[in-house]
Copies of this chain bind each other. A is one copy, B any other.
Amino acid sequence: MCQRPQGIPQQEHFRLETVEVPALSDGEVLVKNNYLSVDPYMRNLMRRSKSYMDSYQIGEIFGGAGIGEVVESRSSGLRAGERVWGILGWQEYSVHKAGQLLKMDPGVQPATAYLSILGTPGLIAYFGLADVCKPREGETLVVSSGAGAVGAAVGQIAKKIYGCHVVGITGSNEKVHYLKEELGFDEAVNYRLDHNLRIELMKTCPNGIDMYFDNVGGDISDAVFGHINDYARIAVCGQIALYNLVRPEAGSRILPAVLLHRAMVKGILIADYEDRLSEARLELGRWLREGQLKCSETITEGLENTIDAFINLFSGTNPGKQLVRI
């Protein structure tokens, strides 16, 4: 990152540089990066202000989760040829202490599952459902950004594992089709087309809304709160509608609905579940092997297109987890 953005990030906030691959020190490995993850939360970390994670600094290499292959090793823990995942830079090659990377299980197919359904999006979907929504069979769950990386995992788990009536809110007719035909959602609503989202929610949730998994915030969430049932459970996982606002906007007050319906609203962040990640990965891995869950991914080719893939997250054109293959 070479500049902090106001509003939606642009190419000018980043710079692509060609540099020498540094020599390895003892305990380090050189990784050829294969897939990079591109996520909405990164926008929040481009601010100067403190958030739930450290901000990116000006001049620092941008990055996040990724998978790659060890091409050179000065560590006994990893040898050349092994596939690994961890926090990688948006780079072709990167140097890491071996202990900061995890070995991938070659049995997991596709390998990109480590960045989608077995990665942070799948994990936060798992915990948000298990710990906040606590779904019961036949209940109605609404998920905003339903075709996003997290939303696709939430909707599939709620439908296939918990047996819920699942309604996704998304931003195009293509994604409405994708959610219903490819991922098995019961209903999907295009909030851009269906101007009266409240009416669409009433139609698609005839028994009201028992659970809301929110990745978006803003007007979309306002509409959902207008239709919640008594004892509704709301997991707040993302607020992408607000990440690019230069100043906060006013909206509907939600506390009256929370009171009227004795609803429970809880913010969730994957860092709070560090000690339970292996439990979740085991279950998600089993569901993936059994074919109950699909990896929902959009893969962009080439490091040079990483910034565009990131910027496109905020127009929401592509379904599933946005990855870059390099």
Question: Are B52 and A253 within 8 A (Cβ)?
Answer: no
Question: Are B217 and A256 within 8 A (Cβ)?
Answer: yes
Question: Are B249 and A253 within 8 A (Cβ)?
Answer: yes
Q: Across the interface, which residues of B come within 8 angstroms of A108, CB to CB?
A: none
Binds B, one of A17-25, A80-88, A265-273: A265-273
In the complex, A106 has a CB within 8 A of chain B: no
Q: Mark A231-250, 1 if CB is under 8 A from B, else 0.
A: 00000111100100000111
Interface members, chain A 249-302 (any B CB < 8 Å): 249-256, 258-269, 272
In the complex, A221 has a CB within 8 A of chain B: yes
Separation of A266 and B261 alpha carbons in the complex (Å):
9
Q: Across the interface, which residues of B come within 8 angstroms of A259, CB to CB?
A: 236-239, 267-269
Question: Are A256 and B272 within 8 A (Cβ)?
Answer: no
In the complex, A51 has a CB within 8 A of chain B: yes
Question: Are A264 and B262 within 8 A (Cβ)?
Answer: no
Q: Mark A195-216, 1 if CB is under 8 A from B, else 0.
A: 0000000000000000000100
A: number of interface residues (CB 8 Å)? 33
Q: Across the interface, which residues of B come within 8 angstroms of A218, CB to CB?
A: 253
Separation of A218 and B259 alpha carbons in the complex (Å):
13
Output the least CB separation between A127 and chain B (Å): 11
Output the least CB separation between A222 and chain B (Å): 9
Which residue in B238, B239, B252, B258 is a CB contact (below 8 Å) of A267? B258
Question: Are B268 and A265 within 8 A (Cβ)?
Answer: no
In this complex, the member of A51, A250, A266 whose beta carbon has the largest number of chain B beta carbons within 10 angstroms is A266
A267-B262 CB under 8 A given contacts A217-B255, A253-B249, A254-B255: yes
Interface members, chain A 40-55 (any B CB < 8 Å): 51-52
Output the least CB separation between A212 and chain B (Å): 11
Which residue in B52, B262, B266 is a CB contact (below 8 Å) of A258? B266
Separation of A261 and B272 alpha carbons in the complex (Å):
11
Which residue in B251, B263, B272 is a CB contact (below 8 Å) of A266? B263
A239-B217 CB under 8 A given contacts A263-B267, A267-B263: no
The 9 closest A-B pairs by CB, nearest first: A250-B250, A259-B267, A265-B265, A262-B267, A258-B267, A264-B266, A251-B253, A236-B259, A217-B255
Known: A250-B253, A255-B267. 6 other contacts (CB 8 A): A218-B253, A239-B259, A248-B256, A250-B251, A255-B265, A262-B269
